[in-house]
Structure 1
Amino acid sequence: MGKPKRHLLATAEQTSSPPAELAEGQSIARVRKIEGNNLYSVDLPSGKEPLLVELPSRFRSQIWIKLGGFVVVDQNAFENRNNKLDGEIANIVRDEKQWRKQAYWPSEFVKQSTYPDDSENEESTVGKMPPSDEET
C-alpha cells in the first residue's frame, strides 16, 4: 500500500519554499548524474570534484529530481560514517526563481538560457528561402 496523501502534501510543502538561511554544513549543489538507486552525483559551486549524495526516504517516489536541477546537500549527515557517501540531500529546489532571490544562492550557478544563442551558430535558416541556382 502506498504512502498516505498527507505525507506527499507535507513533503511538497516542505520543498516549495526556500528556508531563510542554510544550516551549518549545508550547501546548494547542481545534480550532475544519477549514479544508482537513490544516489546522485552533484557539483558544488566551488568546482571541486563531484560529491556522491543519497536521497532520503522521505523524498523517494514523491519528489523527482531532474538532471541539472538543484538540491540542498547536507555534508554533515555522513561525517562520522566511513563509506563512499559524501552527504545527504536535505531539500530539493523546486521553485528555482524563489530560491535564486535568497542571499545564500551561489553566484557560480548563473541562470542558463534554455535556447542557444543564434549568434554562435552560423546562420538561422528559419524563414529564409533556399539559395537559387543563380546565387550559387
Structure 2
Amino acid sequence: MSKATKRKHVTKEVLDRYVLPEENQRIVKVLGGRGNNLHEIETPQGETYLVSMPTKFRKNVWIKRGDFVLIQPIEEGEKVKAEIFAILYADQIKYIQSQGKWPKEFDPEQAVSANVEPDSSSNDSDDSSGNDDLFVNTNRPQCVYESSDSSENSESDSSENEAKK
C-alpha cells in the first residue's frame, strides 16, 4: 500500500469510526506532546503520565494540547503506561456523551461552573458559521486594522500644505 493510500484510509478511519470505551479503555485529555511520539495526558482523576502513539497514526494524524483520546493500558512500561487507541473529535465526543459514557470530570458545563472556559468555545462573536474546528496559528501576531475616513486626512493634509506656502 502506498503512503498516500495508507494516509487516506487511516484518516477516514479516525474521522468516521465511532467507538465507545470498553472496560480496559479510558478517555483522557492531552496535555501536550513530549517528543518521539509520546504525549502527556491527564486522566479524569487528575493523574498524569505518558502515552505512546501507535505506528499507524504517526505522520498521518496529529493531536494537540486539549484534545481527547481513548487509551488502552500497556503492561510493560513504567513511564509510558498506555497507548492511544482512538483520537476523539467533536462528533465522536457528542456520540459518547449521548451514550452516557463520557467522564463527568471533562464535561464543559463543569468547566464553566469552575470559572474555566471550555476548550470548544472561542472568543469570536461570529461563531455561528461553524468554524470552531478551524486551526488558528498562534505563532502569528494578531493584527487589528483601524478604519479612518480618508477624506478627513486628505483635507487636513491639503490645508497644512497651503499654510506652509
When the two structures are superposed, what TM-score results if normalisation uses the length of structure 2?
A: 0.59
C-alpha displacement of 1:99:
1.9
Alignment CA distance shift 1:38-1:82 (3 Å) = closer
| 1:6 CA displacement | 2.0
- Which aligned runs of 4 or more in structure 1 are off by greater than 6 angstroms? none
Corresponding residue for residue 53 of structure 2: 55
1:99 aligns with 2:93: yes
Which structure is higher in helix share?
2
Letter in 2 for 1:86: K
- 2:82 counterpart (63, 78, 87): 87
Deviation (angstroms), 1:114? 2.5
Higher RCO (CA 8 Å, separation ≥ 6 residues):
1
| In 2: Cα distance, 1:67 partner to 1:82 partner | 23
Superposed displacement of residue 82, structure 1: 4.3
Of the two, which has the highest radius of gyration? 2
Aligned residues: 109
Identity of counterpart residues, as a percentage? 31
Tell me, yes or no, if the aligned pair for 2:49 and 2:79 is still in contact at 8 Å: no
Which amino acid in structure 2 is aligned with residue 24 of structure 1?
A: E
- Counterparts of 1:1-136 in structure 2, within 5 Å, are 3-16=2-15, 17-19=17-19, 21-47=20-46, 49-75=47-73, 78-79=74-75, 81-94=76-89, 96-102=90-96, 103=99, 104-111=101-108, 112=118, 113-115=121-123
Cα root mean square deviation, aligned? 2.1
When normalised by structure 1's length, the TM-score is 0.70
CA distance in 2, matches of 1:63, 1:6: 14
Q: Secondary structure at the match of 2:106?
A: coil
Q: Deviations over 1:43-94 (max 9, x none)?
A: 11122x202100111000000101111111111xx21x14321100011113
Uncovered stretches (5+) of structure 1, i.e. residues with no partner: 117-136
Give structure 2 stretches of 5+ with no counterpart.
109-117, 125-165
